[in-house]
Amino acid sequence: MAKDKKTEFKESKKIDFRDQIGKNKVNSVILVVVVFIVLLAIIFFIGRAFGADIFVMLILATIISIVYVLITYFNSAKIALASVKAQEADQVQHRELYNAVENMSIASGMPMPKVYVMPGDQINAFATGKDPQNSVVCVTEGALDKLNKQELEGVIGHEMSHVANYDIRFITIVAVVVGAISIFSQLFLRSLWFGGGRSSGDSDSGGNAIFLIVALVLAIIAPIIVKLVQLAISRRREYMADAGSVEFTRYPPGLIHALEKIKDDDGKINVPDAVAPMFFSDTVKRNLAELFQTHPNINKRIAALESM
């Protein structure tokens, strides 16, 4: 009887992957709202401190930022694949990989993405593309050599979950806002330096001084805050993709064992910093607090998967 109660208690602690996905979606939206609030606050206080002229500069800076990010977004697959020297997978040579992607495509109900392989003996992978109809999944040679069928499907399921959740689009929106905040802050701080700290509306110097001080504080701390929020959003999306992989594979141990192998993996890959956040796990092991990482701690990812 005691054994039955213990088993019952363990089962009651299990979290449905749907609940995990829903929770991470809500957390991601909350974090994005925080970023937008910071953006509105910095526009408001800088505008009140400097008047209409600064708004023209902010608008121009925003347009340039949006155009740059959109160009990158629509060409993200080409840029990412070229930067890591990936080659399209051969259906005969990479039959196991094709089967894994095919299985996950059927399980997810998504179109079959293009499949690529990149050099490097580290276990890793990434997905890109602006929507499921134009998606790409790329894995390292190390992943093909070191993962078995279930583990490979777990990793592929994670990457295809990113595509299904439109994570590239989501992260692009966040990048535009975070980039705009950084540009606004830099413009404001430089205008203070070159303009001698002069603000508009000298007749109300007391009121403007308050706005100027608040704007100055925001310009200094806002880029740091939104960068940390951006990293937190990235980690939330990784947890969500892990849960999505479980939804597709219905087999958490596959992804758990893949993550356990990654923990002990000493393989290397050559990846530009700009595309590193897209990968399944950190491409370089850094001794940094999780607060400053794009990916959650592997032990925490495993613990979350074991709770499903």
Do β-strands 87-88 and 114-118 pair in parallel, antiparallel, or remain unpaired? Answer: antiparallel
First to last CA, the chain: 25
Q: Is 127 helix (H, G, I), strand (E, B) or coil?
A: strand
**Structure tokens given for 173:** 């929106």
Q: Is 262 helix (H, G, I), strand (E, B) or coil?
A: helix
Of residues 96, 102, 141, 159, which has the active-site annotation?
159
- Find tokens 């490097």 and name the residue: 120
61-72 per-residue burial string, b: 16 or more CB within 10 A, e: under 16: bbeebeeebeee
267-297 per-residue burial string, b: 16 or more CB within 10 A, e: under 16: bebebeeebbbbbbbbbeeeeeeeeebbbbe
**Structure tokens given for 169:** 């689009």
- Find tokens 């050599």 and name the residue: 145
| CA nearest neighbour of 151 among 204, 196, 96, 197 | 96
CA 10, CA 82: separation in Å to the nearest integer?
Answer: 47
Tell me the sheet residues that pair with 87: 117
Told to judge if 96 belongs to the known catalytic residues of this protein, a careful annotator would answer: no
Mind telling me the catalytic residues? 159
